[in-house]
Amino acid sequence: METLSEASRRLRADGYVLDFLPVPGGRLRCAECGDQFDPASMVIDEVVRFEGISDPGDEAILFALRGPCGHAGLYSAAYGPDATSEDAEVAAALQR
């Protein structure tokens, strides 16, 4: 089973070299250009979910995204009860 760090390395090797970061208002900020986007405007190329075997707090989600700015990167977040309000809002918007 692939870990979060292994999936991140694999996707970075495939060209998803930067990070998208959550900002208030349920938006994502591109770490390369600084532009902010509605998650609905992102292209989702891959989603990888991770669930802890014995601890539900180990849940995480990783998205390989392309933004309207043309940059490709990753967005990762805690999933479930440990998610921040910004991460929960963004992850919900990306999964629609």
Span 2-32, pLDDT tens digits: 889 999 999 999 999 999 999 989 999 999 9
- Predicted confidence (pLDDT) per residue in 81-90, tens digit: 788 889 989 9
Q: How does residue 39 score in pLDDT terms, banded at 50, 70 and 90?
A: very high
Q: Sketch the domain layout of the chain as residue ranges.
A: 4-94
Using CA atoms, how far apart are residues 38 and 44, in angstroms rounded to an integer? 13
Q: What's the gap between Cα 44 and its chain centre?
A: 9
pLDDT band at 54 (very low <50, low <70, confident <90, very high): low
b/e string for 17-56 if b means 16 or more Cβ within 10 A? ebbbebeeebbbbbebeeebbebeebeeeeebebeeeeee
pLDDT above 70 (res 53): no
Look up residue 9 and give its two tokens.
């390395």
* pLDDT at site 92: 86
**57 close to 66: Cβ distance less than 8 angstroms:** no
pLDDT for 58 beyond 90: no
**Residue-level pLDDT at 56:** 56
Beta bridge partners of 37: 28
Token reading at 74:
């990753």
Rounded mean pLDDT of 55-79? 89
